[in-house]
Structure 1
Amino acid sequence: MAYQQITIAVNDHTAERLADALMAHGALSAAIEDAYAGTANEQAIFGEPGMPAEQIWQQSKVIALFDEHTDAAPVVAAAADDCNIAVPDYDTEYLPEQDWVRLTQAQFEPIQISERLWITPSWHEAPGGRAVNLQLDPGLAFGTGSHPTTRLCLQWLDRHLQGGEAVLDYGCGSGILAIAALKLGAGSAAGVDIDEQAIRASNDNAAQNDAPARFYLPDALPEGQFDVVVANILANPLRLLGGLLAERTKQGGHIVLSGILDEQIEEMSGIYSEWFDLSPAQTDEGWACLSGVKR
């Protein structure tokens, strides 16, 4: 089946109501995206314990999908009426019939992280020999190994884990770092995320990899300290979480921080040097990874 896709520019007060109204009037799907995605004005949305969370972008676009024979105009008009707004302008794009499963899978090839560490989707054959392979399919939760911040953290784990460590992945997303730590010899691994979907995805990925990692919402994480604490999130939550992450790190243990832009290295180093002796940052495509030892 071929489809038509319409894109409507909206503000933050309208986006969710309009997406819901489009679905109610016959859209096959309706998604909300940042209107500035891929530009310098892209707005990250996140939430952490004890800090306010942005719920939606200030300028968004609603992307709705219909079958090729649907007249979208009356649907948009009816949805706008439900939302008490003027009928908006929209762009239309026709999408030819394709094997969407094969097309999506073709975009995700095995990723080599280091000489021995690989991330492999389930529809590809795992590398042989001495390779350490993580089987991970792209999904709703962040973290498939393709982003520089994830690669930097995985490479750190590969270089520095000696075996038997207790590892905490704070902001676990897909669970990839906790799972990788176990595959690389850690004795135990736990993950924390504020998103229940991330917890579900992490548990699924751990089961797929036969990795006994445990994942928690922040308030459910048991008390205790860890030999290695990894936080691959964003600079703003990292600014606020320094004390919490330091408390969770054993004396002499390691902190690993990413989600930091090159220009934020000095600021983040200043914050975390209160608790840790930091090593020079590692960088990849404009992103940085800071690591250090707790005093």
Structure 2
Amino acid sequence: MSGASLGNFIKHLACTLYAQLPRGSRRMLHQSHFYSSSSSIVFRRPSSPTARFGQQWRPCSLAASVSSKAASQNSSTVSGVPPYSSVLIRCRKDVADVLSEALLSFGASSVSMDEHDDYENSDKVSICSIFTDCEDVDACISHAADSIGLEETPTFEVLKYNPYDWIKRTQESFDPVEVTKGLWIVPVWKTPPDIWATNVILNPGLAFGTGEHATTKLCLLVLHRSIRGGELFLDYGTGSGILSIAALKLGAALSVGVDIDPQAITAAHQNALLNNIEPDKLKLHLVSGNDSPILRDPELQKFVRVGIPADKNAYDVVIANILLNPLLDLADEIVSHAKHGAVVGLSGILSEQVDLVIECYSRFLENITVSEKDDWACVTGTRIRS
């Protein structure tokens, strides 16, 4: 499995396992890194050194899933995903942040933190970390503790899981989502609740985007308001392709999806097929280089291009559902693809980060509005006419 693919697996896995921790108050110990309504912190090592969007972590869904074909394989390895261990560590609150960073440096694939009501008056906090079987858990925790000057290694518990078990659990937890009246996101293994509605059939694979995360819902609502028929849509950070496919089903003439992760491009392509989307309706762009194996697949070649789309001032609706830093760094690039007067939506940001995004984009956009859900936000505006 590629580094990017394994990174996405770990990203989803961190969220799924974290949701199974004992129920309690999840205090924001480091708010700038919180990711969703479940209020856990997810740190992740970059999945690829060529990750242009620059993410250190990315919001994920508790109901992320992999393909039903992979789920049918009850073996120690599913689609190249190795067995993994979930490690619950107890440490002092005052060292939790630095220990989390150190764990990532010494082999952990992800780190989540939680503080329960039972320990409100305690100086301890729980850290849930994920390791693949190729990592030495004891050595990692010991080296991490030594690197930040702890005199003793924190106590921890190791639980091993098989990827098949995770796949089964996450599929069972992913139900159809009604984004708004008449618009549903339906996992491929479920029956659409309303066959007359606009149903986006989805198998996210190892990519972000199941329709359950607040940022995805906010972006889908922007599309629902903005697509009237015949629009050209650019999906900057397409993930599972959910927004691109929804735009087409709502009446857009063309969707173009951009992502840095080959696994996301593969998932988006597979979801396009599930929804009977023709190659001339959905174009996918892989940013991270010419040497990806997926580009040697004759079927994918009909859909996939390499690099950022070259067309400027071309799209009626542009949505970038990524993260704060790449949104700020790529502001000129993102807006350059929008027609004058086009709708531009910016998401993947926390409510507390809205002012930074508005300050950055106010030179490009007018009629700026903000929608919020579960501490996440979407900033929407129209490109200023020259």
**For this structure pair, what is the TM-score category when the shorter chain's length is used for normalisation?**
0.7 to 0.9
Contact 2:52 2:260 in 1 (8 A): no
| Distance of aligned partners of 1:93 and 1:213 in 2 relative to their CA distance in 1, 3 Å threshold | same
1:173 equivalenced with 2:217 (yes/no): no
Distance (Å, rounded) in 1 between the aligned partners of 2:170 and 2:195: 28
User: Aligned partner of 1:217: which letter?
Assistant: L
Partner of 2:207: 141
Q: Which protein has the larger Cα radius of gyration, Structure 1 or Structure 2?
A: 1
Q: In the TM superposition, what is the alpha-carbon distance from 1:100 to its structure 2 partner?
A: 6.4
List runs of 5+ in structure 2 lacking aligned partners: 19-25, 34-40, 58-99, 109-129, 147-152, 288-306
Distance (Å, rounded) in 1 between the aligned partners of 2:159 and 2:320: 40
Corresponding residue to 1:105 among 171, 195, 211: 171
| Distance of aligned partners of 1:246 and 1:137 in 2 relative to their CA distance in 1, 3 Å threshold | same
List runs of 5+ in structure 1 lacking aligned partners: 1-15, 20-29, 67-74
Distance (Å, rounded) in 2 between the aligned partners of 1:53 and 1:235: 9
Partner of 2:378: 289
Distance (Å, rounded) in 2 between the aligned partners of 1:274 and 1:253: 15
Corresponding residue to 1:274 among 348, 357, 363: 363
Contact 2:204 2:267 in 1 (8 A): no
1:249 equivalenced with 2:338 (yes/no): yes
| Distance of aligned partners of 1:294 and 1:45 in 2 relative to their CA distance in 1, 3 Å threshold | farther
Q: In the TM superposition, what is the alpha-carbon distance from 1:230 to its structure 2 partner?
A: 0.5
Contact 1:242 1:272 in 2 (8 A): yes
Distance (Å, rounded) in 2 between the aligned partners of 1:174 and 1:135: 11
Q: How does 1:42-61 map to 2 (within 5 A)?
A: 42=41, 43=43, 58-60=102-104, 61=108
Q: In the TM superposition, what is the alpha-carbon distance from 1:123 to its structure 2 partner?
A: 1.3
Instruction: Describe the SS at the equivalent of 2:318.
Output: strand
Q: How does 1:33-182 map to 2 (within 5 A)?
A: 40=30, 42=41, 43=43, 58-60=102-104, 61=108, 62-64=130-132, 91-93=157-159, 102-182=168-248
Q: In the TM superposition, what is the alpha-carbon distance from 1:93 to its structure 2 partner?
A: 3.0
1:213 equivalenced with 2:301 (yes/no): no
| CA RMSD in angstroms, aligned pairs only | 3.7
| Distance of aligned partners of 1:270 and 1:191 in 2 relative to their CA distance in 1, 3 Å threshold | same
Contact 2:210 2:240 in 1 (8 A): yes
- The percentage of counterpart residues that share the same residue type is 36
| Distance of aligned partners of 1:235 and 1:44 in 2 relative to their CA distance in 1, 3 Å threshold | farther
Partner of 1:196: 262
Contact 1:269 1:278 in 2 (8 A): no
Contact 1:278 1:290 in 2 (8 A): no
Instruction: Describe the SS at the equivalent of 1:280.
Output: strand
Corresponding residue to 1:235 among 320, 324, 328: 324
TM-score (norm 2): 0.57
Q: In the TM superposition, what is the alpha-carbon distance from 1:137 to its structure 2 partner?
A: 2.1
